[in-house]
Each structure stands twice: as C-alpha cells, then as structure tokens.
C-alpha cells in the first residue's frame, strides 16, 4: 500500500490499475490530436529510436548478459543489428506505404473513382516475451510507429534488466502519450488486456496467446499472435551433411535453444543418421568446445522452472551427445537424444531449450503424415538437394515459414512476412508486413454528382438524369 497526498491509503494494484487506464486514455487523446500521423513525424521518431539504440548498445549487451548470458556477438546480431535494418527499411519506404492507392472501379459504378487509404489503428498494445527480450519488444514497435500509432509496450518480467532498460530508453526518446513502457508480470498484463486498445500484438506461448485472444474477443480488438510450437527439421538422404550439421547446430543452440523458430526436433533419413550425428558432435565441439558449460558465451536457461522442465526431458531418450547440466548456473549442454517415443513429454510440448530429439524415417511421406498429425508448426526446415522433395514438403505441410538448406534465416529478411498459422499464430510482421499489421486499409468510393441513374432507387423508372 501507498499513502496518497490526501492521506488515504491505496493498494499498489489499484494505483497500477488507475495508472494503466490513465496511460491508455492519454495515448488515445494524443493519437486523436493527429500528431502521430505525418510521414515526417513517423520518420523522425524512427530515427530517434535508431539513435537511442545506438547510444545504448553497450548497456543493452550488458543487460542481455545479465538476463540470459548472451555473448556480445550473439546479442548484437540477433537483438540489435536486425533492428537497425528494420528501422532503415521502414524509414525509406514510409511515404510509399502511406500513400492512398488508386484501384479500379467496376462498371456498375460508372462515374466513380475508388482508392484505399492506409489508416493507423490508433492506440496499440505490444506484449513481449523473454527469449529475445529486446528485439521482440522493439521490432513490432517499429511497425506501430511507422504506421502512425501510439503504443504501450509490456516487456517480459523474466528478463528484468532488459525490461528496466527498455523503460529507460523509451522514456528518454518518446513522450509517454506516444510510446510508453509499462513493466510488470501477469497481473499487469491482465489489467492491460482489460483496456480498449485498437490492436494487440502479442508474442509468447500458445497458452497465453489463447488468454490474449479471449480477452481481445470480449471487446472485438484485432490481434496479431506470434506464438510457438514444435518446428521440425528434416534431413533427407541427399543433404550436404557437413553444412546441415553446422546450420542445425546454429539454429538449435543459439540462445541455448530458447528461440521460437529453433528446430525443435530432427527427422533424419535412416541411411545418413550416423554420419549426421558424427557431424553434429564435431560441430558442437567446434562451436562451444568440449565443455560447453565452461564456454563464456554459451547461453543460460531463463529460470529455474524452465531449467527443471528441460532437465526432465533428458530421461525421454538415449543421450548421444551432451547431457551435462549445471543447476546453479542454469545451463544445459547442447544435447541430442535418440530412441525417442513419440508419446514422451519431449515430443509432446515445445522444447524451447538445447535438447534435440532425433527421429528417423525411410520415406518422406512418413514425415509428412507425422508432422500433419500435429498442430501446424511455426517453422519447418528441410535439408535436401532434390527439388521434388522440396516441392512435396512445401506443398503438403502447412507451417508459418521456414528455410530450405538453412535454419532461422527467413526471420531476418524484411522481404518475408514472418508469422505462424493455426496454433502457431495469427497474422505476420517484418518489413511492409509490420506496417500492414498496424494499419487499417480504408476503402473509399467517390461517386460523381454530374449524373445519376434513377433505376437504382426503389420504384423508379429506368433512366439517366443529368444534374
Ligand atoms: P509467455 O506466453 O509466458 O509470456 C509472454 C508475455 O505474456 C509476457 O510478457 C508475460 O508477462 C505475459 N503473460 C504470461 N502469462 C500471462 C497470463 N496468464 N496472462 C496474461 N499475460 C501473461 O511466453 P514466454 O515464456 O515469455 O516466451 C516463450 C514462448 O513464446 C514460446 O512458446 C515461444 O515459442 C514463443 N515465442 C514466439 C515468438 C514468435 O515470434 N512467434 C517469438 C518468441 C517467443
């Protein structure tokens, strides 16, 4: 409780509640004043965002080290550099994206013109997860600003150093009526979800995604849900095995496997299993040495709860490499498991850690049937030289997006909309797609007043009247 100016006591929760609805009301007012609308404003704010990230670079890297033991190189490439690209990409194109677009008018509307006006949604909420706590908070914000909205950003409470830094950096750069960070956990988010936003952009788990969509449905608020799931990685018998091993290990063990699009499990053609396993072992050693838990830049698991959950998976199969854990430092070495039962927990839930189960197959059709029997994944990776197999997999399995002969990289292209399908998400973003996500496209038909067709009206005679 806190004592107010008039001497009355107030519960922290109540203050929070009032603060939150007040913050939203002020943003709405600011939005309605039209100050976020002009292209020059949007560009100026994006430039300010770019500059403040540049200024804070060392502090961001330090906060990521504290919260997740991210190494400097990884922090820069996966959390910071990618944002510079995204900001510059949007700044260059805002004028074009904002321009009303003339479209054709059908013959039944003789005399009319039609166009589409991109309009900001208004005041939006962005809720971020902890795994890329900086990038996944700022990246949607770029789209929200480029599209002319005001935004409230709720970072994850599980990465407190990054959360505090985000609050500070945004406070220094934006008027709170324009962009504001509200820190907190489940309770704060629940309160935010009671507000009448014009759009909600959520990144996180499938379970919380359901809660967000339910809350949004009550007020008919449109949502973008960037969720997770089990993303398969298929290695066909004709794959370049050395390259596949490198790219799989990179995709799986970056950020200690805590990446929404990390390969969750491997489907390997039986004939190359041993060769791939040997290559993966060599690669892991090349990346992290023979004692990965001593490598200074090998990531840690975000919390004790997640560490225990992941450690539990180690009993779900035979460990072929890795398996070492350090409960004090919350670290688990890059681990590959085989002899997996598809009913075991490691094959039932999203792993989200450095544990990689390996299954084998003989015919690609088996893989297609097995993947299609599960919820649609966020990503899928296929290693092959055979374009027929490539076509078959892309055509027969529905998934958010992915790579052929690589992992993760589709996420880093502003030309590719990024998002899930089915249980892995609703909507997409990045590049133009981010602008579209935070934009309502308003359709306008302007009819001439020079003439009129009377037959459109009830009980009128066929005819044309000139006005
Ligand atoms: P999470 O769903 O636990 O939390 C996300 C956000 O929701 C946090 O800000 C948290 O405070 C809030 N939250 C948590 N529980 C809540 C509740 N009961 N009610 C209201 N709000 C609540 O997700 P996480 O653990 O932070 O992130 C990991 C998950 O996110 C994984 O499933 C991963 O696949 C997914 N993810 C998806 C993407 C993507 O782009 N599709 C990116 C990163 C992570």
452/461: higher pLDDT: 452
Contacts within 8 Å (CB) and 24+ apart, 52-58 = 52/169, 52/172, 52/173, 53/80, 53/83, 53/84, 53/138, 53/169, 54/84, 56/165, 56/169
pLDDT in tens, 91-106: 999 999 999 999 999 9
Nearest CA to ligand 1 atom 15: 186
pLDDT in tens, 6-45: 444 444 454 577 789 999 999 999 999 999 999 999 999 9
Which residues are annotated as catalytic? 226, 260
Contact between residue 114 and residue 445 where contact means Cβ atoms under 8 Å apart: yes
pLDDT in tens, 406-444: 999 999 999 999 999 999 999 999 999 999 999 999 999
Nearest CA to ligand 1 atom 12: 186
> How high is the pLDDT of residue 146?
98
Length of the chain: 467
For residue 136 and ligand 1, the question of a CB distance below 6 A is answered with: yes
C-alpha closest to that of 12 among 145, 184, 258, 158: 184
Counting atoms of ligand 1 from 1, which one is nearest the CA of 156? 9
Q: How confident is the model at residue 3 (pLDDT cuts 50, 70, 90)?
A: very low
Nearest CA to ligand 1 atom 37: 227
CA-only gyration radius of the chain, Å: 25
Between helix 39-68 and helix 135-146 the angle, nearest 10°, is: 170
Average pLDDT, whole number, for the chain? 94
> How high is the pLDDT of residue 18?
73
For residue 189 and ligand 1, the question of a CB distance below 6 A is answered with: yes
Q: To test the ligand 1 pocket, which listed residue (133, 208, 212, 437) has its Cβ within 8 A of the most ligand atoms?
A: 208
| Collapsed DSSP state (helix, strand, coil) of residue 406 | coil
Contact between residue 238 and residue 386 where contact means Cβ atoms under 8 Å apart: yes
- In this predicted structure, the answer to whether residue 347 has a pLDDT above a threshold of 90 is yes
464/337: higher pLDDT: 337
Q: What percent of the chain has pLDDT over 70?
A: 96
- In this predicted structure, the answer to whether residue 464 has a pLDDT above a threshold of 80 is no
CA quadruple 394, 355, 336, 72: dihedral positive or negative?
positive
The DSSP symbol for 429 reads B
What average pLDDT does this structure show over 280-286? 97
Contact between residue 170 and residue 155 where contact means Cβ atoms under 8 Å apart: no
For residue 154 and ligand 1, the question of a CB distance below 6 A is answered with: yes
> How high is the pLDDT of residue 465?
72
For residue 377 and ligand 1, the question of a CB distance below 6 A is answered with: no
C-alpha closest to that of 77 among 60, 93, 89: 60
For residue 352 and ligand 1, the question of a CB distance below 6 A is answered with: yes
- In this predicted structure, the answer to whether residue 110 has a pLDDT above a threshold of 60 is yes
pLDDT in tens, 126-176: 999 999 999 999 999 999 999 999 999 999 999 999 999 999 999 999 999
Contacts for 40 with CB less than 8 Å, ≥ 6 apart: none
Contacts for 175 with CB less than 8 Å, ≥ 6 apart: 30
Counting atoms of ligand 1 from 1, which one is nearest the CA of 129? 26
Counting atoms of ligand 1 from 1, which one is nearest the CA of 132? 43
- For residue 181, the CA-to-ligand 1 centroid distance in Å is 17
- For residue 128, the CA-to-ligand 1 centroid distance in Å is 7
Counting atoms of ligand 1 from 1, which one is nearest the CA of 127? 9
For residue 226 and ligand 1, the question of a CB distance below 6 A is answered with: yes
pLDDT in tens, 217-268: 999 999 999 999 999 999 999 999 999 999 999 999 999 999 999 999 999 9
Determine the number of helices (DSSP H) and then strands (DSSP E) in the chain: 14, 22
For residue 185 and ligand 1, the question of a CB distance below 6 A is answered with: yes
Q: How far apart are CA 142 and CA 111, in angstroms?
A: 40
CA angle 250, 405, 242 (to 5 degrees): 65
> How high is the pLDDT of residue 2?
47
> How high is the pLDDT of residue 466?
72
C-alpha closest to that of 249 among 285, 199, 296: 285
Nearest CA to ligand 1 atom 14: 186
For residue 354 and ligand 1, the question of a CB distance below 6 A is answered with: no
| Collapsed DSSP state (helix, strand, coil) of residue 402 | strand
For residue 190 and ligand 1, the question of a CB distance below 6 A is answered with: yes
Entry pTM: 0.94
Q: How far apart are CA 212 and CA 202, in angstroms?
A: 8
- For residue 425, the CA-to-ligand 1 centroid distance in Å is 12
ipTM summary value: 0.96
pLDDT in tens, 45-86: 999 999 999 999 999 999 999 999 999 999 999 999 999 999
Counting atoms of ligand 1 from 1, which one is nearest the CA of 193? 20
Two structure tokens written together for 221: 């608020």
Q: To test the ligand 1 pocket, which listed residue (126, 162, 205) has its Cβ within 8 A of the most ligand atoms?
A: 205
Nearest CA to ligand 1 atom 19: 186
For residue 131 and ligand 1, the question of a CB distance below 6 A is answered with: yes
């Amino acid at each position: 409780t806190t004592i107010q100016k008039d001497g009355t006591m107030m519960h922290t929760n109540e203050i929070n509640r009032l603060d939150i609805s007040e913050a939203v009301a002020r943003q709405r007012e600011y939005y309605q004043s039209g100050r976020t609308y002009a292209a020059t404003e949007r560009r100026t704010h994006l430039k300010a965002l770019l500059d403040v990230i540049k200024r804070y670079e060392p502090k961001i890297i330090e906060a990521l080290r504290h919260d997740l033991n991210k190494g400097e190189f990884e922090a820069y490439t996966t959390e910071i550099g990618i944002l510079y690209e995204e900001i510059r990409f949007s700044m260059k194109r805002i004028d074009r994206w904002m321009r009303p677009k003339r479209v054709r008018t059908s013959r039944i509307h003789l005399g009319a013109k039609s166009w589409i006006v991109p309009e900001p949604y208004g005041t939006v909420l962005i809720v971020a997860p902890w795994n890329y706590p900086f990038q996944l908070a700022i990246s949607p914000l770029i789209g929200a600003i480029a599209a002319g909205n005001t935004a409230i950003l709720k970072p994850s409470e599980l990465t407190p150093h990054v959360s505090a830094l985000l609050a500070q950096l945004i406070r220094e750069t934006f008027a709170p009526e324009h962009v504001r960070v509200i820190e907190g956990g489940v309770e704060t988010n629940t309160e935010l979800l009671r507000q009448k936003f014009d759009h909600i952009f959520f990144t996180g788990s499938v379970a919380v995604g359901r809660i967000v969509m339910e809350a949004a449905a009550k007020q008919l608020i449109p949502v973008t849900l960037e969720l997770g799931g089990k993303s398969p990685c298929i290695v066909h018998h004709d794959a370049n095995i050395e390259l596949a091993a490198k790219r799989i290990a990179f995709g799986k063990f970056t950020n200690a496997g805590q990446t929404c699009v990390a390969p969750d499990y491997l489907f390997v053609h039986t004939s190359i299993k041993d060769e791939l396993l040997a290559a993966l072992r060599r690669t892991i050693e090349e990346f992290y040495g023979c004692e990965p838990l001593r490598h200074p830049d090998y990531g840690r698991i975000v919390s004790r709860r997640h560490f225990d959950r992941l450690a539990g998976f180690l009993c779900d199969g035979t460990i072929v490499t890795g398996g070492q854990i350090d409960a004090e430092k919350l670290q688990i070495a890059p681990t590959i498991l085989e002899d997996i039962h598809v009913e075991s927990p490691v094959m039932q839930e999203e792993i989200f850690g450095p544990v990689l189960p390996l299954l084998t197959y003989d015919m690609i059709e088996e893989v297609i049937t097995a993947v299609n029997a599960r919820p649609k994944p966020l990503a899928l990776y296929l290693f092959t030289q055979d374009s027929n197999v490539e076509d078959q997999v892309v055509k027969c399995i529905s998934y958010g997006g992915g790579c052929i002969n690589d992992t993760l990289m589709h996420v880093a292209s502003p030309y590719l909309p990024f998002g899930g399908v089915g249980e892995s998400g609703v909507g997409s973003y990045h590049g133009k797609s981010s602008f579209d996500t935070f934009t309502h496209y308003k359709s306008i038909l302007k009819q001439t007043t020079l003439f009129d067709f009377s037959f459109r009206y009830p009980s009128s005679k066929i005819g044309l009247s000139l006005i």
